[in-house]
Structure 1
């Protein structure tokens, strides 16, 4: 495996292995490439994952076992392009489970504190429509939702 020039790297407080397994299980076409574990002199118990290199549906990622005060904010998020409502529902439900928190406009924070945007593929097209009435209605509908609803967005976009 060659590592791309730019790879997102997350620092997870003591749960690198758990988080890696969760993300790999959540996204199809994902796999763990390499795991480095602590030896006798590591900061974590011997055998604990120190760094994991993995792939999420083609995107190379790294997770490092770290600790406080490393915290995530919404200033950096991962956007998931979803073709269907079933995909929106799957990722939303999976990433908000077990302590994740929904936010507004398709944003959520998972149980590790990582921010995600679960976005229907049609939404950017709607928002970029040159007709300000259509794009405005789609924007207004999106702003009222937590998990995005493709049918409701389409209805708002199409108008009365």
Structure 2
């Protein structure tokens, strides 16, 4: 019997903004969808209606997210980021503008030696995104 292939899924923990974030992210990519959202009910332990566990896809990649009802002394960090290979400069600029709004610029869009066109931002939820123009053959 062949063992099932291991699945590795990016898991994002928010504190009350999971649904807002996944709705925003799925609006940015054509091949994106919300697969499932389970919510806390009145019995908790999280606030009623908040995201207990959600699964969504962006460009064919699956993600999971939650609203943690426990406050933590940490958040997202740019040392782990979502890397997006963009097919065009137009796509890169659109994503960069949308993700940077309300967030913070880490590297402006431009040629940085390792890429013809690259930009790096933290979005308004604190998630870090590296946007790279795919190399042309």
TM over 0.5: yes
Equivalence map 1:4-153=2 (5 Å): 5-66=7-68, 67-97=71-101, 99-104=102-107, 106-122=119-135
Q: Deviations over 1:51-92 (max 9, x none)?
A: 110011100000111243241111110111012110111110
Shift of 1:37: 0.4
Higher strand share: 2
Structure 2 CA distance for aligned equivalents of residues 42 and 13 of structure 1: 15
Larger radius of gyration: 1
Which structure has more RCO (C-alpha within 8 Å, separation ≥ 6)?
2
Higher helix share: 1
Runs in 1 of length 4+ with deviation above 4 angstroms? none
If the length of structure 2 is used for normalisation, what is the TM-score? 0.80
Segments of 5+ residues of structure 1 without an aligned counterpart are 126-160
Segments of 5+ residues of structure 2 without an aligned counterpart are 1-5, 113-118
